[in-house]
Amino acid sequence: MRPEIYLIYENVNRLLNSGHYANSLAYLDSAYAEMEDIQPLEEWNRYFHLARYYLNYVSDLEMADRYKDSMNYALKGKEHIYQAEFAKNYFVKGDVLKANKRFSEAFKNYYEGREFARQRLPPCQTADLTYQLGLFKYNQREYQEAIIYVKRALDEVLQCPSGSGFVVSVKDPQMYWNTIALAFEKLEELDSAVHYYETALDFIASKKIVYPQSSFQAESNFVEVARGVVLGNIGGVFAEMGEVEKAEKALQESIQINDRPGYDIPDARTAKIKLGNLYLKLNQPENALDVIQKLDVSIKNIEVKNEHYENILSRFYNLRWHYYDSNNTIDSAYRDLLAFLELYKVSELKATESRYLDMEESFRSTEQQLQLANITRANDMKKLYLMGSVVITLIAFGFLIAVWYHLKRHRLINKQISKQNIELQDALGALEQSQAENSKMMHMVAHDLRSPISSMTMIADVLLESENWSDEDRTLLEHIKLSGDNSLNLVSEMMQVNRGSEGIKKESVDLERMIHYCVDLLRHRADEKQQKIVVETVPLTALVSREKMWRVMSNLIANAIKFSEIGGLISVRLSGNQNKALITVKDMGIGIPDKIKDSVFELFTNSKRVGTAGETPYGMGLAISKQIVTAHEGSIWFESKEGKGTTFFVEMPLL
């Protein structure tokens, strides 16, 4: 690429970072209008930039789709020359499809782009594509999986030879380290986040020596901008860790670097919000007010009301609400709280749109389809060879009447078998369609439940940040938040049904403490029916998923309460040896009739029963519990006699 082209895009990016979106577009058009003899790669770069612009900055999907097509046209017939760019065409098309919520087609393009690059390009040139997959996982809030992809991209880009250019030598590596740190920050693994932020800063410092006064001023400016971005990020982490002096120094330095024309003004706004929150935490309202006033002016100067604008405005309302709340300015605090909640709700809805889409599963499906197509072609060739062999055999042995007779019979039998196979295939297809429709319906219902439950939990969380609650009110709010979190976990379980042990993250859990906690949380429901819960436990520790095993215990205890009479007795017991723990939940309730005992652990069962006080049955708790226990390599069973009561047993391996 010609040096002047490189300079054009650095200037365009500088205008974008400063928030001057319209000016960046006008500058790009005028710069290309003055150029002569534009090469295909240079034309492709222009269309690539415009497609990303309409995807990420102004959200005009029709224009993004148009420039995506222009990218393909610019490289038509030259795919073997510009292989790296052609692979990116797949990813841009996938991004456009994803923005239009055509996720299956989007993943297919990601897969084809990745395979095209992996088969034709060295690792150095596939790093950006790998990173894009990591970003998709990050936006899904699958931060652990995002780290895996971005680390892989980092390994690939670090294989680039020296002299590979500013982008792969400087821009990409620091961006990858910064993204890994962001993911660890989201996982609340703050020490790891600090480590990767510091690694990024050390890397940037080494490049600042290499590019002190670059032939392109944009390169040396970028090194400084990148340093400001990472300082803002690490400053936020220091604030979370309580290292206030480090936090304030890093945030102020970040703002000093990027809060000026030609640098990353949007990032400076984020750093200011973090600094304002830090001042509130330090009880310095005057400093916080100064930051708020400067932010108010800066936000009003934003040209395009895109996703960044909504995000920064939401965080600004949150900061100002807490400021007014600390000063007991109730009306203003309430106004900003409502504005923040409205934007937060919109943000949560956007974030959960593709939360449960499985990119890897789609990749595997696409790969299986390609393999199936190859197998089909191979089978077609085999059929041709087979038919030739049959013809030769018939000619050679046609005079044998007996052979002809048996061959005719054989064909008749094959025809009958084929007919039966077709009927079986039709029945299997109908069964699979019915199962798919049931799963789809369940996922739709679960998905629709997430938003109201998320709003309830978020409001409780926001209210808990205030210092003005009594201990009794705070306890009630914590119960609301915990119940909302548990409900969200149940919805997630519904959307993960039949996925086995995939996604289970085990940790060392004190079973005795967990059981007492479950009982305490459900005791109020037993009190409503004047029931008594007796708990007998011994200290035991197991390697399990805390949330999922909590769900099992809650289901069993809640069922015991539901199916016990008023004034009944419920016994919860934990015992064990060196190898296994045994949990029993025993009630003296109505018991389980013999006719439904074989179906109580089925997901879609007709054996649901109303509780003794008219409680509504849902019929999923025991099925989900069995899946969870099985995924932990444990066992669950019960003993019951109708009218006498029921005892459930859960056996789990210990550490």
Lowest mean per-residue pLDDT among 155-159, 295-299, 437-441 = 437-441
pLDDT top residue among 442 and 61: 61
- For 304-339, the pLDDT digits (tens) are 666 677 888 899 999 999 999 999 999 998 999 998
> How many domains, in total, are found in the chain?
3
Confidence of residue 351 (pLDDT cuts 50, 70, 90): low
Do the Cβ atoms of 120 and 83 come closer than 8 Å? yes
Lowest mean per-residue pLDDT among 263-277, 381-395, 468-482, 600-614 = 381-395
Flag whether 563 is in a domain: yes
Q: Looking at the structure, do residues 540 and 447 belong to the same domain, yes or no?
A: no
| Distance between CA atoms of residues 520 and 555, nearest Å | 14
Lowest mean per-residue pLDDT among 31-40, 149-158, 187-196, 223-232 = 31-40
Kindly tell me the burial class for residue 91, based on how many C-beta atoms sit within 10 Å of its own C-beta (0-12, 13-18, 19 or more): buried
Q: Looking at the structure, do residues 483 and 577 belong to the same domain, yes or no?
A: no
* Tokens at 458, concatenated: 């978020």
Q: What is the pLDDT of residue 215?
A: 45
Confidence of residue 214 (pLDDT cuts 50, 70, 90): very low
Confidence of residue 39 (pLDDT cuts 50, 70, 90): confident
- Kindly state the average pLDDT of the residues 464-491: 77
* Tokens at 636, concatenated: 């669950």
Flag whether 279 is in a domain: no
pLDDT top residue among 564 and 609: 564
Q: Looking at the structure, do residues 519 and 466 belong to the same domain, yes or no?
A: no
Domain end point (choices 443, 471, 495): 495
Nearest Cα neighbor of 545 from 579, 508, 497 is 508
Do the Cβ atoms of 646 and 570 come closer than 8 Å? no
Residues 23-27: contacts with CB under 8 Å, at least 24 apart: 24/53, 25/50, 25/53
Flag whether 610 is in a domain: yes
Confidence of residue 506 (pLDDT cuts 50, 70, 90): confident
| Distance between CA atoms of residues 485 and 117, nearest Å | 42
| Distance between CA atoms of residues 627 and 617, nearest Å | 19
Range of the domain at 463: 397-495
Residue with tokens 């599963």: 361
Do the Cβ atoms of 228 and 17 come closer than 8 Å? no
Q: What is the pLDDT of residue 173?
A: 92
Confidence of residue 122 (pLDDT cuts 50, 70, 90): confident
Q: What is the pLDDT of residue 483?
A: 77
Residue 178: pLDDT over 60: yes
- Kindly state the average pLDDT of the residues 333-352: 81
Flag whether 315 is in a domain: yes
Confidence of residue 21 (pLDDT cuts 50, 70, 90): confident
Give me the chain's average pLDDT, please: 82
Residue 648: pLDDT over 80: yes
Domain end point (choices 474, 495, 516): 495
Burial 251-278 (b: 16+ CB within 10 A, else e): bebbbebbbeebbbbbbbbbbbbbbbbb
- For 407-459, the pLDDT digits (tens) are 677 677 777 777 777 777 766 666 666 655 666 666 666 666 767 877 787 78
Flag whether 380 is in a domain: no
